[in-house]
Amino acid sequence: MSQYHQSVLLQEAIKFLNVKPQHLYIDATIGGGGHTRQILRRGGKVLGIDSDPESIAHLNKKFKIENLKLKIGEDLILAQGNFNRIADIARSHGFSKVSGILFDLGVSSHQLETAQRGFSFQKEGPLDMRMDKNSNIRAFDLVNNLEKRRLNEIFEKYAGEKLSWSIASAICSARKIKPIETTDGLAHIIKEVYRRKHLRTKLHPATKAFQALRIVVNSELLNLEEALPQTVNLLEKQGRLVVISFHSLEDSIVKRFFKYEKRLKVLTKTPIGPGSGEILHNPRSRSARLRAAVKI
């Protein structure tokens, strides 16, 4: 386990990847490198991609210190980039035919827990939420500039937020007085909407709205829709595609793709979730769903 991120469905993902020594694998969301480490341990060679430069910098240091025998650049190649360009990234690093590709979607614990990254409503930070700091749009820009109708649509469509219209209205009223600059400022506005409506939730009231903003800031669904079709040509016959998703919108994109892509045979009739032990140990794993397929 790494402090940077606690990997989810680790054994299950590695089992479905069916790792063989000297074969090539792409970890399209390398994050803290937990899944990649298991592939390397089994003798696989990995191209690890992440859109977050902090992840790549962290791994460059970590893998060198952890295992001096590991030949970074031979057994492991690290590439900063968006997986919506997975085919180009893979080819430019000599990974044009691989035995397995893994996507472990969403954010890492490091991203969530670093207040400055602005992902968490539980920490005071700027309203940012960009996985790649080089991209232009921050949560701040959406929250302070979008029309009420569009904000409502985002909260409803990407998170099923029941109070989407009231939250959008409260945001528009608050920003007339001064821009909403911080995560806790936004969380407070949402909490007040819930309080006024006397609505109680198991999760923090800001959970859904923050999820919706993050999805839009990072074009998460579009990136996945663009990436999946590129993977099939990259896989050799019998190559495995494994995707771990964290909400139903992502999972239905994967499910639909597996269903209609005739060159893939589905290995998971129903998606695999974490056992009660994993949820207890790592509550963030509770919404994880793994789907796997093999190229025929």
Ligand X SMILES: C[S@@+](CC[C@H](N)C(=O)[O-])C[C@H]1O[C@@H](n2cnc3c(N)ncnc32)[C@H](O)[C@@H]1O
For ligand X, the binding residues (CB under 6 A) are 5, 7, 29, 31-35, 49-52, 55, 82-84, 104, 106-108, 131, 223
Shortest CA distance to 50 belongs to which of 151, 131, 167? 131
Q: Judge whether 141 is annotated as a binding position.
A: no
Sorted by sequence, the CB contacts under 8 Å of residue 177 that are 6+ apart come out as none
Q: Judge whether 184 is annotated as a binding position.
A: no
CB of 54 or CB of 161, closer to ligand X: 54
The closest residue (CB) to ligand X is 31
CB of 33 or CB of 100, closer to ligand X: 33
Q: Judge whether 104 is annotated as a binding position.
A: yes
Shortest Å distance, C-beta 217 to ligand X? 11
Shortest Å distance, C-beta 122 to ligand X? 18
Shortest Å distance, C-beta 29 to ligand X? 3
CB of 4 or CB of 140, closer to ligand X: 4
Q: Judge whether 34 is annotated as a binding position.
A: yes
Shortest Å distance, C-beta 13 to ligand X? 8
Shortest Å distance, C-beta 263 to ligand X? 23
CB of 61 or CB of 200, closer to ligand X: 61
Shortest Å distance, C-beta 261 to ligand X? 20
Shortest CA distance to 111 belongs to which of 123, 99, 102? 123
Q: Judge whether 111 is annotated as a binding position.
A: yes
CB of 125 or CB of 205, closer to ligand X: 125
CB of 33 or CB of 239, closer to ligand X: 33
If you write DSSP's letter for every residue of the chain in order, what string do you get? --SS---SSHHHHHHHHT--TT-EEEETT-TTSHHHHHHHHTT-EEEEEES-HHHHHHHHHHHHHH-TTS-BTTTEEEEES-GGGHHHHHHHTT-SSEEEEEEE-S--HHHHH-GGG---TTS--BS---SSTTSS--HHHHHHHS-HHHHHHHHHHHH--TTHHHHHHHHHHHHHHS---BHHHHHHHHHHHHHHTT---SS-TTHHHHHHHHHHHTTHHHHHHHHHHHHHHHEEEEEEEEEEESSHHHHHHHHHHHHH-TTEEES-SS-B---HHHHHH-GGGGG-EEEEEEE-
Binding residue numbers: 33-35, 50, 83, 104, 111
Q: Please report, in range form, the residues annotated as the binding site for S-adenosyl-L-methionine.
A: 33-35, 50, 83, 104, 111
